[in-house]
Amino acid sequence: MITLKEALTLPAEALKEIRDDLKKEIAAKKELGAYVEQLTNQPIGEYGEGIPIALKDNIQVKGWGVTSGSNILQGYVAPYNATVVDNMLRHGLAPFGRTNMDEFAMGSSTESSFYGKTLNPHNPKCVPGGSSGGSAAAVAAGIAIAALGSDTGGSIRQPAAFCGCVGLKPTYGKVSRYGLGAYSSSLDQIGPITQNVEDAAILYDIIAGHEPKDSTSAAMAHESVADKLNPDRKMTIAVIENYLNEASPEVREKMLEGIKALQSAGHTIVYRNFINSKYDIATYYVIATAEASANLSRYDGVRYGNRHNSDSLKEMFIQSRSLGFGEEVKRRILLGTFVLSSGYYDAYYIKAQRARHFIKAQYEAIFQEADLIFMPVTPTAAFEFGSKADPLEMYLSDIYTISLNLAGLPGISVPLGKNQEGLPIGGQLIGQAYGEQALLDGALSLERALGL
């Protein structure tokens, strides 16, 4: 598959050929389940001219269906473009197909989608990760030049690691959430999933920037990073030693190779510790579910999608929500409603907000001494379908990705190699708020030093 950088140099006829080939390839790899529908069903005419980019099914394209992988949104057609889509169109990129995801971006395996599962291109018995599993599988299988995903607690970085792609979660507010199906508004962020670090920088430059329609969008001019990428800049990189030690042997082995590569590229490695990651999980699942319970209250069966007609409005509301949402989504709405209820608000929600400040302070302390942080993306390589039936076990697969969202910081997942079964393993670099330039410089240097 050609890279985004190469595609940007191609004339219109060559791009048309690439789009036609892609459609054939996608049809041939249908069993992978990376896209939620056959592209021929889509009214792509208006968008058909640019470089094709795959979009997660929670990013709106005017006139297209968009369902966040849920039954409750079947039949819903987006009335306007997400800001990222308008930005893409302005730069000669075009939306090309909706990719599969965990319902409402809640999950780590893409097993909870209304459309069924997506397979890991490296091993069909294994999950592609989630919730942006369709986007990562499409890039890894060579049926997308690049894709967009969203990351609330790891949903770009974790599937990128499981599929062997690069996944960038930008600083909170750098990429507008306007037109993104909301899960947890203070954590959600759109970002690129690509074949390499340079493409991630290029796509990030295209989608980033201030959006006046979005009050959470950072009010600053975007400074391009791709044209200034410098893999030769020497940095101090803090390795989180306790995370390294507690990861599985296969992840530790690849992380140690990553550390060696960073050293050989001239970076200085220092070792630091984080508090127990179990506090990150507890904090995240209180805040994320609280926000989700508020965000998802709009799917009431009256204004959105999938109506269950009944004479009584109340009946319609109950029917629509109980039939329209899947198990995991319902569990989280219940949990979120519980932690926000009077009597429990102080004990859970307020406490989680305090813990969130503490987690942020912990990052700030390390950034007093280091330019970047390096740690695993996941405790293991991709797991098998059905192996994490207990929701709490599934939640534990995010232990290294969620603190970043709580702190609002940018992070990138870079492939470090494969385990003995041929499954990819990723390493995560973390930067300071709005420090995407240093982050991508470090990621490029790691990618080059590993020479994969």
Q: Which residues bind ligand GLN (CB under 6 A)?
A: 105-108, 131, 151-155, 183, 288, 398
Least distance to ligand GLN, CB of residue 151, Å: 5
Nearer to ligand GLN, 107 or 173 (CB): 107
> What one-character DSSP code corresponds to residue 420?
T
Q: Is 155 considered catalytic here?
A: yes
**Rounded to the nearest whole angstrom, what is the least distance from the CB of residue 384 to ligand GLN in the complex?**
17
Which is closer to ligand GLN, CB of 47 or CB of 325? Answer: 325
End-to-end CA gap in the chain: 16
Measured from the CB atom, the residue of 47 and 299 that comes closer to ligand GLN is: 299
Residue 320 annotated as catalytic: no
Closer Cβ to ligand GLN, 110 or 320, answer by number: 110
Of 433, 384, 392, 393, which Cα lies nearest the Cα of 411?
A: 433
Provide the minimum distance between the beta carbon of 259 and ligand GLN in the complex, in angstroms, as a whole number. Answer: 26
Query: Given 108, 131, 176, 320, which residue is catalytic?
Result: 131
Residue 387 designated active-site: no
Catalytic hit among 23, 56, 169, 388: 56
**240 - beta bridge partners?**
272
CB of 214 to ligand GLN, least distance (A): 18
Burial of 114 (0-12, 13-18, 19+ CB in 10 A): buried
Buried b (16+ CB within 10 A) or exposed e, 15-47: beebbeebbeebeebeebbbbbeebeebebeeb
Distance CA 276, CA 281 (A): 10
Residues 253, 254, 258, CA angle at the centre, nearest 5°? Answer: 120
Shortest distance, position 398 Cβ to ligand GLN, whole Å? 5
Q: Are 85 and 55 in contact (CB under 8 A)?
A: yes
Give the residue closest to ligand GLN by C-beta: 155
Comparison of 50 and 173: residue with beta carbon closer to ligand GLN: 173
In the bound state with ligand GLN, the residue whose beta carbon lies nearer, of 47 and 243, is: 243
| Distances 174 to 80, 216, 217, 395 between C-alpha atoms, Å | 21, 9, 6, 26
- Residue 248 CB, shortest distance to ligand GLN, in Å, is 18
How many helices and strands in the chain, by DSSP H and E? Answer: 15, 10
- How far is it, in rounded angstroms, from Cα 210 to Cα 214? 8
Measure Cα distances from 264 to 258, 268, 387, 423, 432 in Å.
10, 10, 38, 25, 23
Contact 395, 285 (CB under 8 A): yes
Catalytic residue (one of 108, 155, 403, 413): 155
Residues serving a catalytic function are 56, 131, 155
